[in-house]
Chains A and B, each alone.
Chain A
Amino acid sequence: MEEYNSGEEVSFNADEASVSVKECIEGIIGGIDYNQNKVNQWTASIVEHSLTQLVKQGRPFKFIVNCAIMQKSGAGLHTANSCYWDTATDGSCTVRWENRTMYCVVSVFAVAVTC
């Protein structure tokens, strides 16, 4: 008689992902001011590092990581997401970060892979 553990390992852990993403952001733009010449590099680094960390967890998921960096200048910014998936296994998490000169919003979407 064998017991199988399921459920625990196959749903997306948003808290863990959130922590991982915050560390990536801090590591790349923590303490730096908005710089138009470098922002391209920053968004690319943030999404790549975040994705690498997520994939390292070794879970059976496809990931999409989206990052937006906006200069603080009084403009209004609004974002929305809508997802058509399996709510039992798939999930997302959004991290909002800011410093004196810019806002950074990173969204992670995880979609379970059915093998």
Chain B
Amino acid sequence: MDEFQTGEETAFVVDEVSTIIKESVEGAIGGNAYQHSRVNQWTTNIVEQSLSQLSKLGKPFKYIVTCVIMQKNGAGLQTASSCFWDNTTDGSCTVRWENKSMYCIVSVFGLAI
């Protein structure tokens, strides 16, 4: 009689993903002020670093990571996402980070294979 453990290793764990994202953001832009000439590099670094850490988790998921960096200038920014997927296995996590000169919003979507 075999027992199969499911759920633990094949579910999208929001806390784990959230930690990975926060580390990627801090590593890429922690302590930096908004600079137009570097922001391109920063968003790229953040998504690449996050994705690489997520794939290292070795879970049977496809991932989509999006990152938005906006200069603090009084402008309003609103974002929304809508997903058509399998609620039991797929999930998402959004991390909002800011410092004195900019906002950074990173969203990760994990879809079970």
Residues of A within 8 A of B (CB): 34, 36, 39-40, 42-44, 46-48, 50-51, 54-55, 62-86, 90, 92, 107, 109, 111, 114
Contact = CB atoms under 8 A, between A and B. Distances in A.
A50 B113 contact: no
A54 B84 CA distance: 10
Given A78-B68, A80-B47, A85 B62 contact: yes
Interface residues of B, number: 45
Nearest to B102: A76
Contacts, number: 142
B45 to A, nearest CB: 9
B20 interface: no
A107 B66 contact: yes
A79 B70 CA distance: 9
B88 interface: no
Contacts of A82: 47-48, 50-51, 64-65
B96 interface: no
Contacts of B43: 78-80
Given A51-B84, A80-B43, A82-B51, A40 B78 contact: yes
Contacts of A51: 82-84
24 contacts: A39-B78, A62-B85, A64-B85, A64-B92, A64-B109, A66-B81, A67-B80, A68-B77, A69-B79, A71-B77, A75-B73, A77-B69, A77-B77, A78-B43, A79-B43, A79-B67, A80-B44, A82-B48, A83-B65, A84-B64, A85-B62, A109-B64, A111-B85, A111-B111
